């Protein structure tokens, strides 16, 4: 059975409270429950969230040790600014799927540049919580 690490970046712990007109009213825990239910045990999902860039880099580096089969990452605001996360993702020899809840190209112009996505295998965005499920589904047989 595949093991997939799902990393969530800054402010995603505040989903449901943060800009509900953009991100909806569901919390990260709601998204986790939805995704776990939809995948129905077809993969082992390890969820991680941090607001600290260095902790996210360390977690990505841990994935390079061969203990996971794929990485799904929602880098949050770091998607637009973090060379460090980009560089850590480039170390990986497994599929990396970047996830965004909102349709970034319908938002502020500074969100249109995704530094981290340049190191991703694929990008899934604009589909709300379905973005996570579809990213994981893309890695299942």
> Is 100 annotated in the active site?
yes
> Is 23 annotated in the active site?
yes
Q: By residue range, what is the domain housing residue 109?
A: 3-137
> Residue for token digits 């429950």?
33
Residues 130-139: tens digit of each pLDDT: 999 999 999 9
For residue 120, what is the domain's CATH number?
3.40.50.9100
In the set 23, 78, 132, 133, the catalytic residue is: 23
- DSSP per-residue codes, 21-34: HHH-S--HHHHHHH
Residues 10-34: tens digit of each pLDDT: 999 999 998 888 888 999 999 999 9
Count: domains in the chain:
1
Paired residues of 8 in beta bridges: 49, 74
Is the pTM higher than 0.75? The answer reads: yes
């Amino acid at each position: 059975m595949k093991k997939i690490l799902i990393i969530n970046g800054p402010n995603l712990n505040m989903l449901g409270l943060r800009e509900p007109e953009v991100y909806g009213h569901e919390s990260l825990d709601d998204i986790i429950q939805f995704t776990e239910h939809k995948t129905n045990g077809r993969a082992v999902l390890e969820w991680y969230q941090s607001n600290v860039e260095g902790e996210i880099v360390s977690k990505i580096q841990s994935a390079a040790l061969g203990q996971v089969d794929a990485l799904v990452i929602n880098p949050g605001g770091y998607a637009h600014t973090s060379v460090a996360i980009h560089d850590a993702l480039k170390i990986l020899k497994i599929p990396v799927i970047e996830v965004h809840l909102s349709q970034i190209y319908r938002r502020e112009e500074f969100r249109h540049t995704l530094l981290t996505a340049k190191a991703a295998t694929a990008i899934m965005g604009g589909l709300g919580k379905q973005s996570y499920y579809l990213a994981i589904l893309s890695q299942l047989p």
